Structure 1
Amino acid sequence: MIASAKVTSNMALPRQTRSDQLLNVVKDYEHIAVVTHDNPDPDAVSAGWAVCRLIRKSLDRQPRLIGGGDILRAENRHMMNLLQPPIELMQQFQPQERTAAILVDCGLQVAGHLLTSPNVRTVAVIDHHQTGSKPDIPFVDIRPRMAASATMTSGYLREQKLEPGERLATALLYAIRTETCGNEFRHTREDRSVILWLTRFANPEWLAAIESAPLPRGYFADLVLALQNTFLYDQSAFCLLPRAEGQEIVGEVADLLIRCEGVEQVFCGAAIADDLLCSVRTENELDSAAELVQATLHGLGFGGGHIHRAGGKVSNISKRNFAGKLEDELRERWLKACKVNRKRGTRLISRKEIVGSLTGKVL
């Protein structure tokens, strides 16, 4: 009996899953807020939705899914209308006392989320972006190798044997597809496993409808202007729009330009209201989009992301002479960050080339 008791006392306890750890951190809180970054994309929305489902089903709590700003891209707005995720978009968050906050798809070190109230205690960060040192909070799950935060939170549901349901599964699957832009080789083994699992529940007709969402006419005007304002410097592309009708054009042009043959680094920015929004894309495995955008915007604004995709923002551009000084400074910073010595760029496509192609002339 003594020997048996000794063996029992030395037996290792079962290792807690990540989802178990997260649930243990929030279980004693009556009020829970799941907070995404401002202007949330499909990854932030669906990952936060999955965390809310995990908490509702496992703890019988009713967490709130919170995001600042608005939904930008046409496809993302179509996703919102079709799938109706339970996210509350607001300009300011005024929580009840002793609210536990879970940051999803963003970190504490990054500006651009609604967590500013002293009534909120941030107890968890779930993200696939590496945005700084590990925060000193109870639960941290930061995995930069994952294609999407949606992969990580889908994993939580699988660990707890919870089915996502048709709407959430479709949102999670769409999020992973948008984060990888169809580049299959950038999926980890866990991403591929989650995609197969989500496919069992997702609605393919809804997914197709979201990906082919109708676009406003202003989008095409922005697109033409962007292509005419894109300059190539060896393997780097730089595009800056003096104005844009919609914010979605910034990321979409960056996604398009990185597909251009010979281009390995893309900076795309646009002035919208009194802000300059930018997106950075990379193809070279030795580059980091997050590091490139941070180097370009250092001292001007903020930015973050991961290896192949990143974004940033410069505020109050009306005070910075956008038409001249700021544009030149951003271009110089971008080329320096990309280690490009060439100072004179080549237009991706000029007006002369467009006219020549329409008239059938060989230029």
Structure 2
Amino acid sequence: MKATQLNAKSVSAKLLERLSEHDEVVIVMHDNPDPDAIATGWGLKVLVDETIGLPTRVIGGGAIVRAENRHMVNLLDPPIELVDDFDFDDRAAAILVDCSIGASNHVLTRQRIQPFAIIDHHIADVRNTKAPFVDIRVEVAASASIIASYLREQHIPPGAKLATAMLYAIRTETCAYESHYSALDRMILPWLMEYAEPELLAEIHNAPLQRSYYGDLLLALQNTFLYDDVALCFLPRADGVEIVGEIADLLVRCESVGRVMCGAVIGNDLLVSARTQFPKDNAADMIQATLKGLGGSGGHAHRAGGKIPNVGESASAVEKVSNLLRDRWLDVCGVERKRGTRLIAKREIVQNLDL
């Protein structure tokens, strides 16, 4: 263990002092980790490495799904591991990052392990948590901002690649009307810019896309229906997980559209993303009510997502679940059930097939 002088008055010092009682640290990201989970886990590992020096691993389940996220990982090479399972030692401290309390999409839940610490920015009810250390700041744009503040408190430079990852994480968490920046974010952004590489950021933003992505995009737009100011899009099948959130981000920018839900069957699961631009709405609560009794969900005031596992492979089973979600989402949005209007008129689709 390193003998390092800590900034004793800081939040990060309290975490590090508690961690020093353990033999190792396991940082757990949510499944299919996004840039915020990756940057947060990476930054926390650097913090531990440079201070108390405990053996530290950053793990997550699933895969890196969006093209930009895969490109970010290829370019920046963060020290993360994607695992199907993990053996936790009793002397290891498990830290859950960028994942709300009660979420089921991480390895700790599957192994029924209580985290030692939780560091996150999602909306959550912390009353029942038993973790010794909890730092949840829902007003902050990204979990990466919290960890960046820890590094800054301990006077640890993030380095070019980590700073780039953190900046990209904050950027991805502030889109689709989730565009608030707290005082912490505003302090951290210029600090990270001192170290980040603009060229790498630009390259990540312009990641190459697979041809199947454009097929999913076309089908999604053809299957989008409008109900007053609500847009709904359901795909019976999609090749890429990323299309669900990206279509939701795209549709909420459409004139006269204020709320969006997009879903697609990936493998045997139905993935759902929701967006709202209204200040009084809470997308996390809205998607939770829509998926009640069907699957899990989580998110923010204006962006949220969820999953219904094992919906079945038959077209009738998928249609039944999709219709139920449509009715529930319209109820949550206060829109009377009626026949939807296609975003793109069917005659326009048919007339242009042979062009």
Give the TM bin, normalised by the shorter chain.
Answer: over 0.9
2:347 is matched with which residue?
A: 352
1:297 is matched with which residue?
A: 291
Q: 1:352 to 1:31 in 2, by over 3 A?
A: same
Q: Give the superposition deviation at 1:356.
A: 5.1
8 Å Cα contact 2:213-2:243 kept in structure 1: yes
1:323 is matched with which residue?
A: 318
2:138 corresponds to 1:144: yes
Q: 134-143 vs 291-300, which deviates more?
A: 134-143
Deviation string 1:28-74 (CA, Å, 9 cap, x unpaired) is 11121000110000000001111111111110112100100000000
Q: Match of 2:278, SS?
A: coil
List aligned pairs for 1:170-319, cutoff 5 A: 170-181=164-175, 186-318=180-312
Which blocks of at least 5 consecutive residues in structure 1 are unaligned? 1-13
List structure 1 runs of 4+ shifted beyond 6 angstroms.
Answer: 357-360
Q: Distance in 2 between matches of 1:359 and 1:270?
A: 27
Q: Give the superposition deviation at 1:21.
A: 1.3
2:94 corresponds to 1:101: yes
Deviation string 1:249-302 (CA, Å, 9 cap, x unpaired) is 011111111111111111011001100011111110111110111011000001
2:34 corresponds to 1:26: no
2:328 is matched with which residue?
A: 333
Out of 58, 61, 67, the residue aligned to residue 74 of structure 1 is 67
1:127 is matched with which residue?
A: 120
Letter in 2 for 1:264: G
Q: 1:118 to 1:75 in 2, by over 3 A?
A: closer
8 Å Cα contact 2:96-2:115 kept in structure 1: yes
1:11 is matched with which residue?
A: none
Question: Could you say what the CA RMSD is over the residues aligned between the two structures, in angstroms?
Answer: 2.1
**TM norm structure 1:** 0.91
Q: 1:181 to 1:28 in 2, by over 3 A?
A: same
Q: Give the superposition deviation at 1:208.
A: 0.4
**TM norm structure 2:** 0.93
Q: 1:118 to 1:276 in 2, by over 3 A?
A: closer
Between Structure 1 and Structure 2, how many residues are aligned?
347
Q: Give the superposition deviation at 1:357.
A: 6.9
Which blocks of at least 5 consecutive residues in structure 2 are unaligned? 1-6
Q: 99-108 vs 240-249, which deviates more?
A: 99-108
Letter in 2 for 1:196: P
2:66 corresponds to 1:83: no
8 Å Cα contact 2:176-2:252 kept in structure 1: no
Q: Match of 2:312, SS?
A: helix
8 Å Cα contact 1:123-1:137 kept in structure 2: yes
Q: Distance in 2 between matches of 1:271 and 1:358?
A: 25
Q: Match of 2:51, SS?
A: helix
Q: 318-327 vs 286-295, which deviates more?
A: 318-327
Q: Match of 1:174, SS?
A: helix
1:35 is matched with which residue?
A: 28
8 Å Cα contact 2:176-2:277 kept in structure 1: no
Higher Rg of the two aligned structures: 1
Letter in 1 for 2:174: T
2:57 is matched with which residue?
A: 64
Deviation string 1:284-327 (CA, Å, 9 cap, x unpaired) is 01111101110110000010111011110000101784333111
